[in-house]
Structure 1
Amino acid sequence: MLLVYTHKITPRVKYIFKHICTRVLGLEVSFTNKIEEFIAHDSLKMSYTKQQLGSEFFIKNHELLFEQGLNDVEIHFQDWDNTKCFFFNGDKCELPFDIFAASFYLLSRYEEYLPHVKDDYGRFVASESIAYKHGFLDQPVVDIWAYKFKKALQKQFPDYIFPEKTYTVKPIIDVPSAYIFQKKGVMRTLGGTLKDIFRLRFKRLYYRYMVILNLKHDPYDTFKYIINRQKNSNAKFLFFFLIGDYSTFDKGINVNNKKFVSLIKQVADYCRVGLKVSFFAIDDITILKKEKIQMETIINASLNASRQSYSRLNFPDSYRHLVELEIPEDYTMGYVNQIGFRAGSCTPFFFYDLDYEVQTPLKICPYHLMDYALLKTKSLLDKKKVLNELIGKIKAVNGEFVPVFHNYTFSDSERWQGFKELFNMILESAHEN
């Protein structure tokens, strides 16, 4: 166990030390503000304060972890080996930066509480983030800094045996609409027909009615293939089904459709199933509660995971609603069109509410790649290269790789050619050294 001496034990201090030490490095950690207790401890220990007590392992603290609420935080970036960091604390410490304050800034999403420009869907975009602006969005810096901390501890305590973590994969299958032509109802089918005619999409029109007449397979219905992949994989797939009402933004299948409900139940027999929160439910807890109850009725179990439609988050309300409804996990933290680490980490962490200064029970599982982001890379060979580089970075810190694919990604559509192979690469990466 690591004992941390600090002049003031704040919720922020406890939160970030437990993340870095326990969740990333597997070390138990405790805290004290009594010098006598610190001196008497005969195992791993360090001080985190303004002045070093003696010759102990020491990291000079930045004020961030001892403040409350939001303040004007001054940030200056500097190179640190093959990465970057901020909150420089001089050369007299075991580490040249206060990685705990820097990690807290990223994990708490401090910058997303501050004024920023949003896109048309009300989302915080990658280009607004400090990680993108300073060129480290493609690195899980919180985990990299944690391993630098571990290396420094090992140097000071060479006889201590540190636990080892392993790289894992958690594939996400996002289902905004289970079918493209089937089960859409008379009015939506008629509207789609007229749209096809006006846009001269006669091939699509032909295919639409061949599917409706059960003469062809619906392109979005790839669930048999995905379930077969699940059966042959050690990674447990997590599906997110949209069951919210039809709207401008959400065009799923009616939750009263028996075939759709049967599909969700069938998938739940083999995989984990969560709720894809509809666009308007993100801001309205009454709609969210209704969707939660509907999904729990379908799967006959408590809802354990959610993912917000369009990867849209409204800090801090979106997460507060999930906490209030006792949904324990969320998989929205990431960027739709940009590969990388939105919170700087590939290790799940808990939502810290900056307004109330409390760690909540909501576990945030950030995703690092959505299939759409790979469309920016033209050739399949280049896609494989980008994917292998990302996997390598997560493996280097024994992190958890969370990729998001859609049910239609596994169709025979020309747009998604080669994506089955990319998905298989991800699954196989968990078995490679």
Structure 2
Amino acid sequence: MLLVYTHKISPRVKYAFRHICTRILGIEVGFTTTIENFIAHDSLKMSYTKQQLGNEFFIKSNEIMFEQGLSDVDVNVQDWGDTKCFFSTGEKSALPFDIFSASFYLLSRYEEYLPHVKDEYGRFPASESIAYKYGFLHQPVVDIWAYKFKDALQKQFPEFEFPTKTYRIKPLIDVPSAYAYKLKGIMRTFGGTLKDLARFRFRGLYFRFAVLLGFKHDPHDTFKYIINRQRHSKFKFLFFFLIGDYSTYDKGINANKKNFISLIKHVADYCFVGLKVSFFAIENEETLKKERNRIEDIINRPLKASRQSFSKLNLPESYRSLIDLEIKEDYTMGYVNHIGFRAGSCTPFLFYDLDYEVQTPLMINSYHLMDYALLKNKSLLDKKKALNEIIYQVRKVNGEFIPVFHNYTFSDNLRWKGFKELFNIILESAHNE
């Protein structure tokens, strides 16, 4: 166990240390404010306070770790080897930066509580983040800092054996609508037909009726292919089905349709199934509760995981609603159009509520890539390059890579040409261990 001496054991200190030491490095951590206990400890130990006690392993703490609520934090980002960091510490500190304060700032999403410009869906855009502004969005900096911390500790305690961790993947399959044409109902089919005629989309009209009459396979019905890929992977995929009511933003299948229910049950036999929270349920806990009950009735087990429609988050309200409904995991944290690490880490972390100054039981699984972000790259070669780069970054720190693909990504639509191959690269990256 690593024993940390500090002048004040704050919730923020415990939160940051436990993520870096326990979740990333796999070592238990304890805290003390008593110098005698610190001196008596005969294994890994360090002081985390304002001034060094003697010649112990010491990291100078930043005041942000002992504050409550939000303050006007001065974030001065600087180079640190092949990465970036902020909250510099001075010469006596074993590390030139307070990685615990910097990690807390990123993991708590401190900057998302501060005034910022939202996008058209009311989301926090990548361009507003310090990671994007200072060019380190592409790196899991919290995990990189953790390994720099480990290296420094190892020099001080060469006899200590750190546990090893391996690279993992957790592919997410987002299902906003299980089918392109099937199970849409008479009114929506009629409306779609009129739209095709008005825009002279005769090919689309042909496909619509060929599918409805059973002559062709629905292009978005790729579930057999995905489940087959699951069978050849040692890591289980996680599907998120939208079962909310039809609205301006969500145009899924009616959750009462028997064939749709059968599909969800079939997928749940092979993969994990979670809830894709509808756009209006994000801000309405009663609607969210209704959707949770609906999916639980279908899968016949308590709902464990969710992700919000359009990857929209309202902090801290969105996460408080999930906690109130006893949903254990969230997969919304990420950027739709940018590859990278929104919270700076590729290790799942618990949500810290900055308003209440408390670590909650909700596990945040931040995704690092959505299929849409790869569309920026014109050629398949460029897409592969971008994908391999993010995989390399996660593998380097033995993290967990979480990509988001949609069921329609695996269709024969020209827009998604080559994406099956990209998905296979992800799956193969886990077999190369």
TM-score over 0.5 for the pair: yes
**What letter matches 2:42 in structure 1?**
D
Alignment of 1:111-126 (within 5 A): 111-126=111-126
Partner of 1:272 in structure 2? 272
Q: Secondary structure at the match of 1:79?
A: strand
The answer to whether 1:405 aligns with 2:405 is yes
Q: Which runs of 5+ in 2 are unaligned?
A: none
* Residues 357-376 of structure 1 deviation map (CA, whole Å, 9 limit, x = unaligned): 00000000000000000000
Taking the aligned partners of 2:293 and 2:152, their CA distance within structure 1 comes to: 49
Alignment of 1:11-22 (within 5 A): 11-22=11-22
Partner of 1:290 in structure 2? 290
Partner of 1:261 in structure 2? 261
Q: State the Cα distance separating 1:235 from its structure 2 match.
A: 1.1
Q: State the Cα distance separating 1:92 from its structure 2 match.
A: 1.4
Taking the aligned partners of 2:234 and 2:147, their CA distance within structure 1 comes to: 27
Taking the aligned partners of 1:91 and 1:370, their CA distance within structure 2 comes to: 41
Partner of 1:177 in structure 2? 177
Taking the aligned partners of 1:232 and 1:163, their CA distance within structure 2 comes to: 28
Partner of 2:236 in structure 1? 236
* Residues 228-252 of structure 1 deviation map (CA, whole Å, 9 limit, x = unaligned): 1111111100000000000000000
Alignment of 1:371-382 (within 5 A): 371-382=371-382
Partner of 1:340 in structure 2? 340
Q: State the Cα distance separating 1:21 from its structure 2 match.
A: 0.1
Taking the aligned partners of 2:91 and 2:418, their CA distance within structure 1 comes to: 49
* Residues 304-325 of structure 1 deviation map (CA, whole Å, 9 limit, x = unaligned): 0000000000011000000000
Partner of 1:326 in structure 2? 326
Q: Which runs of 5+ in 1 are unaligned?
A: none
Partner of 2:249 in structure 1? 249
Partner of 1:422 in structure 2? 422
Q: Secondary structure at the match of 1:190?
A: helix
RMSD between superposed Cα atoms in Å: 0.5
Taking the aligned partners of 2:386 and 2:253, their CA distance within structure 1 comes to: 34
4+ residue runs over 4 A deviation = none
**What letter matches 1:358 in structure 2?**
V
Q: Secondary structure at the match of 1:420?
A: helix
Alignment of 1:3-402 (within 5 A): 3-402=3-402
* Residues 350-408 of structure 1 deviation map (CA, whole Å, 9 limit, x = unaligned): 00000000000000000000000000001111111111111111000000000000000
Q: State the Cα distance separating 1:268 from its structure 2 match.
A: 0.2
Q: State the Cα distance separating 1:221 from its structure 2 match.
A: 0.2
Taking the aligned partners of 2:216 and 2:30, their CA distance within structure 1 comes to: 62
The sequence identity of aligned pairs, in percent, is: 75
Taking the aligned partners of 1:62 and 1:191, their CA distance within structure 2 comes to: 59
**What letter matches 1:102 in structure 2?**
A
Give TM-score scaled by structure 1 length: 1.00
Taking the aligned partners of 2:241 and 2:75, their CA distance within structure 1 comes to: 40
Q: Secondary structure at the match of 1:430?
A: helix
Which range is displaced more, 273-282 or 376-385?
A: 376-385
Taking the aligned partners of 2:203 and 2:430, their CA distance within structure 1 comes to: 41
**What letter matches 2:295 in structure 1?**
M
Taking the aligned partners of 2:74 and 2:422, their CA distance within structure 1 comes to: 41
**What letter matches 1:26 in structure 2?**
G
* Residues 271-299 of structure 1 deviation map (CA, whole Å, 9 limit, x = unaligned): 00000000000000000000000000000
* Residues 74-103 of structure 1 deviation map (CA, whole Å, 9 limit, x = unaligned): 111110000110000112110000000000
Taking the aligned partners of 2:295 and 2:207, their CA distance within structure 1 comes to: 31
**What letter matches 2:159 in structure 1?**
D
Q: State the Cα distance separating 1:432 from its structure 2 match.
A: 1.2
Q: State the Cα distance separating 1:11 from its structure 2 match.
A: 0.5
**What letter matches 1:90 in structure 2?**
G
Taking the aligned partners of 1:194 and 1:314, their CA distance within structure 2 comes to: 37
**What letter matches 1:238 in structure 2?**
L
Taking the aligned partners of 2:410 and 2:174, their CA distance within structure 1 comes to: 12
Taking the aligned partners of 1:339 and 1:386, their CA distance within structure 2 comes to: 8
**What letter matches 2:86 in structure 1?**
F
Q: State the Cα distance separating 1:265 from its structure 2 match.
A: 0.1
Taking the aligned partners of 1:178 and 1:7, their CA distance within structure 2 comes to: 55
Which range is displaced more, 176-185 or 379-388?
A: 379-388
Q: Secondary structure at the match of 2:282?
A: coil
Q: State the Cα distance separating 1:337 from its structure 2 match.
A: 0.5
Give TM-score scaled by structure 2 length: 1.00
Q: State the Cα distance separating 1:104 from its structure 2 match.
A: 0.1
Q: State the Cα distance separating 1:113 from its structure 2 match.
A: 0.5
**What letter matches 1:140 in structure 2?**
P
Taking the aligned partners of 1:289 and 1:267, their CA distance within structure 2 comes to: 22
Q: Secondary structure at the match of 2:161?
A: coil
Q: State the Cα distance separating 1:166 from its structure 2 match.
A: 0.4
